[in-house]
Amino acid sequence: MGYDILRSVKINEKENSVKIETAANNFLPHNFETYEIQAKNFDDKMIYLMEKLLDMQFHFEERLTENTAPLSWAIESVKRYYKENNIDHYEDRFNQSDEERKKLYIEDYTKIFKPTLQYFIRTLKGEGIIDTNAYIFKEKINENIDEEEDER
């Protein structure tokens, strides 16, 4: 089954804009195109993006960039929350009505995804980690999470 490779995401909350650069994985050579996510408001656009990443309809390009690394970690934080709370993403989300499923995604976005994304963009970009190397960014985050778990 096909999915879209996500190369770039440009988020501009002030302009209510979320643009993604994607290509279908099953066509070679990959022809990346830029699209703007259409929704009523900024949060709905971000919820759509989060949902597509969780549902594996979008996969990050192999090399993370400064604008995909924070998204990658925000998605990993949601997945970690599911694991820690014994939530089966597919069972608990797809066996719901569309309305109930939307409520659950809004809750996940509000409680986990949005604050995590904002934290990593604000804090780590300020430290220059994202700008210099997305892989260092991900390794530093993994180290911080492991240290927090050791303290528990």
**% of the chain surpassing 90 pLDDT:** 3
The DSSP result for 93-151, as a single string, is HHTS-HHHHHHHHHHHIIIIIHHHHHHIIIIIHHTTHHHH-HHHHHHHHHHHHHHHHHH
What residues contact residue 112 under an 8 Å CB cut-off, 6+ apart? 74, 77, 78, 81
Tell me how far apart the alpha carbons of residues 27 and 76 are, in angstroms, rounded to a whole number. Answer: 27
Give the ranges where 2-122 is alpha helix by DSSP (H): 42-54, 69-84, 89-94, 98-108, 114-119
Specify the pLDDT at position 36.
Answer: 92
User: Residue 4 pLDDT > 50, yes or no?
Assistant: yes
For the chain, the domain total comes to 1
Residue 64 identity (one-letter amino acid): L
Specify the pLDDT at position 87.
Answer: 78
Interval 137-142 mean pLDDT: 49
Angle at the Cα of 19 from the Cα atoms of 82 and 124, rounded to 5 degrees? 60
User: Residue 140 pLDDT > 60, yes or no?
Assistant: no
The residue with greater pLDDT, 91 or 119, is: 119
Distances (CA, A) of 24 to 95, 143, 150: 28, 33, 40
User: Residue 39 pLDDT > 50, yes or no?
Assistant: yes
Specify the pLDDT at position 148.
Answer: 47
Confidence of residue 38 (pLDDT cuts 50, 70, 90): very high
User: Residue 136 pLDDT > 50, yes or no?
Assistant: no
Question: Starting from the edge strand earliest in sequence, which strands make up the sheet with 4-12, in order?
Answer: 33-36, 17-24, 4-12, 58-60
The residue with greater pLDDT, 92 or 152, is: 92
Can you tell me whether residue 23 is helix, strand or coil? strand
pLDDT digits (tens, 9 = 90+) for 70-98: 888 888 888 888 888 887 766 666 677 77
Residue 78 domain boundaries: 4-151
pTM for the model stands at 0.73
- Please name which of 67, 83, 78, 81 lies closest in space to residue 137, comparing C-alpha atoms: 67
The whole-chain average pLDDT of the chain stands at: 77
